Amino acid sequence: MLLTCLILLALGGTASVAAAPGTRWARPAAAVARWLLVAAAVAGAVAGGLGVAGRGERLDLTQLLVLSGTGGLRVDELSGLFLLISCAVAVPALLVSDRSRTLRPRLPAALALTLGAVVVVISADHLFVLLFGWESLTLGFYLLAGFDRQRRGRTRASIAAAVFGKASGAALLLGGALLAASAHSLALADLGAVTGTAQATAYALLLLGFAIKAGVVPVQVWLPPTYAAAPGPARPLMAGVAVNVAFYGMIRTLDVLGPPPVWLAAVVLLLAGATALLGIAHASVNVQLTGLVAWSSVENAGLISTGFAMALVGSIEHLTALVAAGLLASVMQVIAHALGKSLLFGSTGLVEDAFDTVTLDDLRGIVGSLPVAGTGLVVGALTLAGLPLTAGFASEWLTLEALMQQFRVQSLALRLASAGAGALVALTLGIAGVTFVRLVALTVFGTPATRQRRSFRGGRAAARTGIIVLSAACLAVAALAPLEVRLVATGLRPLVGDTALDALASDAVLQPVYGDFSALSPTWLWVVLPAMTLLVLLLAAALSGRSLWRVRRVEPWTSASPGVARGTGYTSFGYANPMRRVLANLLRTRGRLESADEGSTFAATTRGAADSLTYRVDVVEVVEEYLYRPLRAPGRGLVRRVKRLQSGHLSAYLFYMLIALVAVLAVVAITT
């Protein structure tokens, strides 16, 4: 099935490239390409399921790629788990992509490259194959971010995706080369024999490479602009599927290299907590729907990395149960994020096509005109907010429970780091609730905006089907949480054996691996909460008689100031203003009064009789402002100097290659 998946992806990409715009074959070829990609995702999900069941397959690519030793693609329990998650979510995500009002015949080619790279990275068992898939994924992100290159901001976003993608690839190359030089092998299974300084350095480099792709602070600045710049049909696949390779890489690194240094685990814990807080802080005040959803990806990267960091702590302390608790929370959050983020971005694409805007204040009352997209936004928001009856509730609960096990840790540094990360995550989850209430209450169910939507039905049947499937999956995973735990525990067997199964206190009750600590039953919540709601309605109807159904309609209060025109007084921008003030130290909130002609991302306008003035409220992305912006001038100067080396003479380039070869040989001689 793995080979079938890759063949179908190749055929889909070829069909898409062959669909020349303007020809009569363009639309049929694009449709064939899209359905080939869906079939490839189904084949990949089947291959992953077989891997989790212990019937994985292996493709030997030694002869094809001229690899040293033996290597290729292999699906075991862990890779099968991530392959199943990624490809299963890719099926409805690709269905959602079939909704564009304009023909984009070559977009499936970039989608095929991205999904193919995900399959290769997850199933690679050779360092060269892993790096090949990683660079292919960077190319896929570059093509998708710059697909609508004629639109503003796309070029800069695609360049940022390429630069940070190459940086992550360089970190993986350096870390992998350091391990390979010491282990004298490029097979991933052989790299765990390395110890000492080489192992610690390689560990840090590998985690850095995966952290860049996931969007962990301080290397998250490229992620929100890239998601926002990509075409709507591509965002669900990028944010809900492709990013999973970063989290798989982190867990595979732990599997291969074992316990990391104490300092590295502490750093990962604190950075993960900071990532979650920074991501949700910017999501809570962003005025664009795409920006809000994109920044929540940074938040979820922090939550997933926090669970992984607790697994690192457990491995250092030789606490197998803590490793299982951290990994279980991390992978279950991966599932919730994959479903919720694909659903949110898929629904956002439908809304953008219908209204031709993503400004939140122009998108009120979506559910009335686009019921499928509105429902998708509600379910996706509740999932990522971690509220009951959705997939995100159990995963975020397990993350908090894993952090609470810090009292079992002996190292003072790790205990302090766990406590700090726990405080950051707890604050993050509180802000997340406020953030997604803003999205649901004001954008989905708010008073309809005066701006009329375009003549658009809200997507083709395939797109609406994809939204419905993702919405149902977000709810069904919560109801079937014990089965989800069994699936994840089976995939984690190479790392922790059957310890993760201890998270099942009974057939319907979960616990944080450690027994008699706490318990939760998402399954019973699906029975109890609807039953209690129905009971309250019945009691209200019985006690109130017919008056329950009488509705008194009055004109809503909008403003206490005389002379102010009536309308929707409580906007999305206004709702987020307290958060800008509360988090002013983190967001560096700035306000100023200026002419309304000057542009700003965040603005509240007050027009007087003589003048048109605007009170501007801006927030700052602190990492970009204080870390990367000061590096621009020296970076440009370095580029100008390096360009002088490109003389165009072949002898000069041969000389550079000789210098690089001598440097590599020197490093190998020192480290062996």
pLDDT in tens, 258-288: 999 999 999 999 999 999 999 999 999 998 9
Rounded Cα distance between 364 and 571, Å, is 9
Q: Is 615 helix (H, G, I), strand (E, B) or coil?
A: strand
pLDDT computed for residue 21 by the predictor: 61
Statement to judge: residues 273 and 370 lie in one domain:
yes
546, 574, 604: which is the final residue of a domain? 546
Domain-embedded: residue 654? yes
Among 246, 233, 210, 235, which residue's Cα sits nearest to residue 292? 235
- Nearest Cα residue to 83 out of 257, 312, 338: 338
444 and 488: one domain?
yes
Helix (H) or strand (E) holding 489: helix 481-491
pLDDT in tens, 543-598: 877 777 777 776 655 555 555 555 555 778 888 888 888 888 888 888 777 765 55
Q: How far is CA 176 from CA 129, 202, 253, 287, in A?
A: 12, 7, 11, 41
pLDDT for position 413: 93
Question: Is the separation of the CB atoms in 188 and 125 below 8 Å?
Answer: yes
The secondary element (H helix, E strand) that includes residue 475 is helix 461-479
Identity at 332, one-letter amino acid code: M
**Other C-beta atoms lying within 10 Å of the C-beta of residue 466:** 30
Cα–Cα nearest to 355, from 454, 443, 232: 454
The residue type found at 216 is V
525/593 same-domain check: no
Would you say the C-alpha torsion 428, 310, 626, 164 has a positive or negative sign? negative
Of 513, 529, 546, the position where a domain reaches its end is 546
Q: Are residues 499 and 601 in the same domain?
A: no
Distance CA 213, CA 223 (A): 8
- pLDDT of 600 reads 46
Burial of 474 (0-12, 13-18, 19+ CB in 10 A): buried
Would you say 311 and 331 are in contact if contact means Cβ atoms under 8 Å apart?
no
Residues 278 and 382 in one domain: yes
* 316 lies in the same domain as 385: yes
For the chain, helix (H) and strand (E) counts, in that order, are 27, 5
Q: Are 350 and 99 in contact (CB under 8 A)?
A: yes
Residue 344 forms part of a structural domain: yes
* pLDDT computed for residue 601 by the predictor: 46
What burial class does residue 412 get, using C-beta atoms within 10 Å of its C-beta: 0-12 exposed, 13-18 middle, 19+ buried? exposed
- Overall domain count for the chain: 3
Angle among Cα 490, 495, 501 to the nearest 5 degrees reads 40
Question: Are 614 and 629 within one domain?
Answer: no
- Residue 358 and residue 448 in one domain: yes
Does 346 map to a domain?
yes
For residue range 10-38, list pLDDT tens digits in order. Answer: 888 887 776 666 566 667 777 788 888 99
Q: Which of 201, 261, 165 is nearest to 667 (CA)?
A: 201
Is residue 142 assigned to a domain?
no
Interatomic CA distance for residues 604 and 520, integer angstroms: 44
The span from the CA of 540 to the CA of 555, in Å, is 26
Q: Which of 149, 338, 152, 379 is nearest to 246 (CA)?
A: 338
Residue 645 lies in domain: 625-671
Same-domain status, 420 and 536 = yes
Give start and end residues of each alpha helix (H) in 492-644: 493-496, 522-544, 572-582, 584-587, 622-623, 632-643
Domain shared by 501 and 643, yes or no: no
Residue 352: predicted pLDDT? 87
User: Does 538 lie in the same domain as 479?
Assistant: yes
Helix (H) / strand (E) containing 426: helix 412-438
Tell whether 292 is covered by a domain.
Answer: yes
Torsion 647-649-653-656 (CA) sign: negative
As given in the structure block, the two tokens for residue 258 are 């074992």
Spatial contact of 186 and 180, defined as CB atoms under 8 Å apart: yes
The answer to whether residues 332 and 405 belong to one domain is yes
State the pLDDT at residue 396: 95
Per the domain annotation, does 55 fall within a domain?
Answer: no
The predicted pLDDT at position 461 comes to: 83
Contacts of 398 (CB under 8 A, 6+ apart): 307, 325, 328, 329, 332, 503, 510, 512
pLDDT at 18: 66
In a domain, 606, yes or no: yes
CA-CA distance, 380 to 555, in Å (whole number)?
A: 32
Q: What is the pLDDT of residue 10?
A: 85
How far is it, in rounded angstroms, from Cα 108 to Cα 115? 10
Residue 292 C-alpha from the chain's centroid: 13
In a domain, 524, yes or no: yes
**Spans of the chain, pLDDT less than 70:** 18-26, 63, 65-69, 98-103, 449-459, 554-569, 595-614, 647, 668, 671-672
How far is 169 from 186, CA to CA, in rounded Å?
A: 16
Q: How many angstroms separate the first and last alpha carbons of the chain?
A: 40
Of the candidates 334, 327, 367, the one whose C-alpha atom is nearest the C-alpha of residue 351 is 367
d(CA 18, CA 437): 45
